[in-house]
Amino acid sequence: MGERSGVRTEVDSFGPIAVPADRYWGAQTQRSLGNFPIGEERMPRPLIHALGLVKLAAARTNMALGALDRRRGEAIARAAREVADGMLDDHFPLVVWQTGSGTQTNMNANEVIANRANELLGAPLGTRDPVHPNDHVNLGQSSNDTFPTAMHIAAVRELHERLIPALEHLFAELEAKREAFADIVKIGRTHLQDAVPLTLGQEFSGYVRQVENGLARLRAAMPRLLELAQGGTAVGTGLNTKRGFAERFAAEVAELTGLPFVTAPNKFEALAAHDAMVELSGALNVLACSLTKIANDIRLLGSGPRCGIGELRLPANEPGSSIMPGKVNPTQAEALTMVCAQVMGNHVTVTVAGAHGHLELNVYKPVIAHAVLQSIRLLGDAVRSFTDRCIVGLEPDRARIADFVERSLMLVTALVPRLGYDAAARIARKAHEEGLTLKEATLALGLLSAEEFEALVRPEAMLAPRE
């Protein structure tokens, strides 16, 4: 290794290459920087941290199986822990758009950990001795099983630490609103036209159930995500690992994360297909549909303040217009629905990428990881923001809601069992065309007395099936 003007020389099977002297990465990472000048999307940090856990668990497993001496193994484990803890994020510069197996990023991790381990052992960077990136850090591993293992670990951790807690928070706040709004009778709307009454609490109960179902779908996808490919090595056979490596490795990851990871029962499937990630993306896609509906409903119900529906008063978080003074917009709903649009697009990407598992290896791993982890991150952040800055502060406009109920023509539906559909339609038509109330139109047509009308048309009695 030679150093000159802020660089050092590293070597791989292609020969020497100059690397920044203050970076832990080595030759293969540097070559990737030159070979893939594509976009700005770097490998997701949760994936890098998961790779740190993979290398830590592998070092422990290899030491336990007698494949790696303790001096090297402990140094690798310490360096890998620094990667897992985010302490070395600046040393992972590679973009998503690289080889489809993620080999460059796996080698980025191997090189960073090897150089940091050598530094811990008192050796200069770039020596590849006593710790070698391939022979020791990558011992018993291939990019083909390491990268999908990191994908699963990252996805599961992000679900548990970010998205599921955010959805549970939204669920609780929507449930609180459902209870608070249980006594507010309002007009329903179908086809964006007036319909029969329901309570605002009943309307919100639909949103509660959507979020509850979204959580259930994420949890239902979890068992397949908890299966780890590590131990399959290049094509699923486990070549160059020791017997028992896969099982012991999974147990190490479970201990490190506190999550019930297990070794995948079939390593050929785990390398060649990423159906578990496609399944998760599908659950995220459904969740995005649900959240779009909820956010759109809330901004419709909050439209106004004077010329819209205006049944809900949304929190005023910031000025809404650069030209219209005093305007306040439903910005949290807009942000959430934009996130949902991105998630839906990501699912298309993951679907296409997941379908291209050619023979023994899917070679769309980085873009699958990028899309799924972005969807989880965006949904987790947006859901929490929407909950805290919109749902928590929602208030009903009881007077406006009551006025809509009083003026609605669709209350005539309560007369159908007594008068029949055609007679009820005549009442609604007459009231609409002549600007009458339903009661006035009914009396004018001579179909009921005032007392009979008032006994039949009671919005509070139209909220459930009849006895």
Question: DSSP letters along 273-291, please?
Answer: --HHHHHHHHHHHHHHHHH
pLDDT in tens, 249-292: 999 999 999 999 999 999 999 999 999 999 999 999 999 999 99
List, in order, residues 6 or more apart from 150 with CB less than 8 Å away: 47, 50, 51, 53, 54, 369
String of DSSP letters for 234-286: TTSS-TTS-TTHHHHHHHHHHHHHTS--EE-S-HHHHHH--HHHHHHHHHHHH
pLDDT in tens, 68-101: 999 999 999 999 999 999 999 999 999 999 999 9
pLDDT at 321: 87
pLDDT in tens, 188-197: 999 999 999 9
Q: Model-level pTM?
A: 0.95
Mean pLDDT, the chain, as a whole number? Answer: 96
pLDDT in tens, 204-258: 999 999 999 999 999 999 999 999 999 999 999 999 999 999 999 999 999 999 9
Count the neighbouring beta carbons within 10 Å of the beta carbon of residue 38. 10
Looking at this protein, which amino acid is placed at residue 318? E
pLDDT at 1: 45
Query: Which superfamily is assigned to 19-139 in CATH?
Result: Fumarase/aspartase (N-terminal domain) (1.10.275.10)
Of 142, 191, 290, 408, the catalytic one is 191
**DSSP class of 387:** I
pLDDT in tens, 394-424: 999 999 999 999 999 999 999 999 999 999 9
Return d(Cα 444, Cα 427) in angstroms, integer. 9
- The residue-averaged pLDDT of 343-362 equals 97
Q: Which fold has domain 145-228+269-399?
A: Fumarase C; Chain A, domain 2 (1.20.200)
Among the listed residues 209, 118, 163, the one whose alpha carbon sits nearest the alpha carbon of residue 381 = 163
Return d(Cα 73, Cα 433) in angstroms, integer. 85
pLDDT in tens, 106-162: 999 999 999 999 999 999 999 999 999 999 999 999 999 999 999 999 999 999 999
Of 321, 358, 432, 449, the catalytic one is 321
pLDDT at 375: 98
Looking at this protein, which amino acid is placed at residue 377? R
Map residue 341 onto helix, strand or coil: helix
Known catalytic membership, residue 191: yes
At 3, is the pLDDT very low, low, confident or very high (cuts 50, 70, 90)? Answer: low
Q: What is the residue extent of each domain of the chain? A: 19-139, 145-228+269-399, 409-461
Q: Are strands 227-228 and 262-263 parallel, antiparallel or unpaired?
A: parallel
At 466, is the pLDDT very low, low, confident or very high (cuts 50, 70, 90)? Answer: confident
Can you say whether the dihedral through the CA atoms of 90, 374, 275, 50 is positive or negative?
positive
The tokens describing 450, both together, are 């005032």
User: By 3-state DSSP, what share of the chain in percent is helix, strand and coil, each rounded to 5?
Assistant: 60, 10, 30
CA 453, distance to chain mean position in Å, is 52
Q: Which fold has domain 409-461?
A: Ribonucleotide Reductase Protein R1; domain 1 (1.10.40)
pLDDT in tens, 173-185: 999 999 999 999 9
pLDDT in tens, 366-382: 999 999 999 999 999 99
Position 31 pLDDT exceeds 80 = yes
Distant-in-sequence contacts of 307-313, Cβ < 8 A, 24+ apart: 310/397, 310/400, 311/186, 311/200, 311/396, 311/397, 311/400, 311/401, 311/404, 312/394, 312/395, 312/396, 312/397, 313/394, 313/395, 313/396, 313/397
End-to-end CA distance of the chain: 88
Can you say whether the dihedral through the CA atoms of 126, 129, 133, 134 is positive or negative?
positive
Position 187 pLDDT exceeds 80 = yes
Known catalytic membership, residue 432: no
Helix (H) / strand (E) containing 16: strand 15-20
Count the neighbouring beta carbons within 10 Å of the beta carbon of residue 166. 21
CA 463, distance to chain mean position in Å, is 36
Equal CATH topology for 145-228+269-399 and 409-461: no
Return d(Cα 380, Cα 167) in angstroms, integer. 7
Return d(Cα 196, Cα 109) in angstroms, integer. 61
